[in-house]
Amino acid sequence: MKNLCIAVSLAFSMFVVSGVAGASDKADHKMKPFVMASTSAGDMAGIVAEVTDKLKGAGFEIAGSYSPFPSATVIAVTNDALKKAAAKSDFGGYGAAQRVSVTKVKDQIQVAYTNPLYMASAYRMKDTLADAAGRLTTALGAGKEYGPDDDDAMTDEDLRDYNYMFGMEDFADHFMVGEHKNFQAAVDTVEKNLAAGVSGVTKVYRIDIPGKDEVVFGVAMTGKTEKQKNQDDTYLMSEIDFKPMRSTAHLPYEILVSGNKVYSQSARFRIAINFPDLSMMGSNSFMNIMEAPDAIKGAMSAVAGGKK
């Protein structure tokens, strides 16, 4: 009976989300990067466990999870549909995982997740990821899209051509941070360096993309020295994620191995796509983290076996 209820709920969610996906084809349909599923009081560990069980029940596999800081846990999920969708697109591995966050803010715990429809457009994918959107709705609830103000929400067309401002990187301008003799050598190098915590970077998850030589790693970044501060997950989020509804599911960052090359998105794109209304100047602005893009690129290069 329980399985039947889940199946009916999932079918209904697919119907609802297919309508949203259809609407996303219209030029005037605007999207935001995150969905707030619920806010409640409760025990952090208990809610994380409950969310994990719900995600598994909706057909997701847990690729990995971590706590970037004590008040938060991020759970990266994938499934066969997401992997197949990633395989259809150039560098689609960036979209192979969706991220679910459980964040304690004062006396409330927020459960949120990345909006798959938004991410599909941002990463220029051929699939809308409506299946993932439906399953997340089934598991956690439809909730409310959030992130930027309404004026800064974006259409599919906006997202596929997005950069924060003229001269800054877009999706296609990711960095090649390492190159090796073949695909396996590239993967082995990244695995070895993540296991060793090179430059304060460690593995959260690994997802292999079916039918092609492509692997995406989700990585945690810490900065134990003043020099490394600008790559540190906790420090960066303290500067950019300051609104009452937290965007913890911005984390973790990705490293992509495609063929014999290793890539990392520019922080000027990767941060901006999730925080498009972050101001350039002032408190809680890009100016406060102006050294982060180079710090992150250097750390990723070290992990990839390139120059730091």
Mean pLDDT of the chain: 91
| H or E element in which residue 207 lies | strand 201-208
- Above 70 in pLDDT, residue 293? yes
How many other β-carbons are positioned within 10 Å of the β-carbon of residue 16?
15
Between 151 and 47, the higher pLDDT residue: 47
Minimum mean pLDDT range among 48-57, 247-256, 264-273, 281-290: 281-290
- Above 70 in pLDDT, residue 307? no
Q: What is the pLDDT of residues 18-77, one digit of tens each?
A: 444 443 444 578 999 999 999 999 999 999 999 999 999 999 999 999 999 999 999 999
Dihedral of the alpha carbons of 236, 238, 239, 243, in degrees to the nearest 10: 130
- Above 90 in pLDDT, residue 145? yes
Distance CA 136, CA 141 (A): 7
How many other β-carbons are positioned within 10 Å of the β-carbon of residue 97?
29
**Domain ranges across the chain:** 2-160, 171-304
Minimum mean pLDDT range among 21-30, 135-144, 203-212, 277-286: 21-30
- Above 90 in pLDDT, residue 286? no
2-160 folds as TATA-Binding Protein (3.30.310)
- Above 60 in pLDDT, residue 11? no
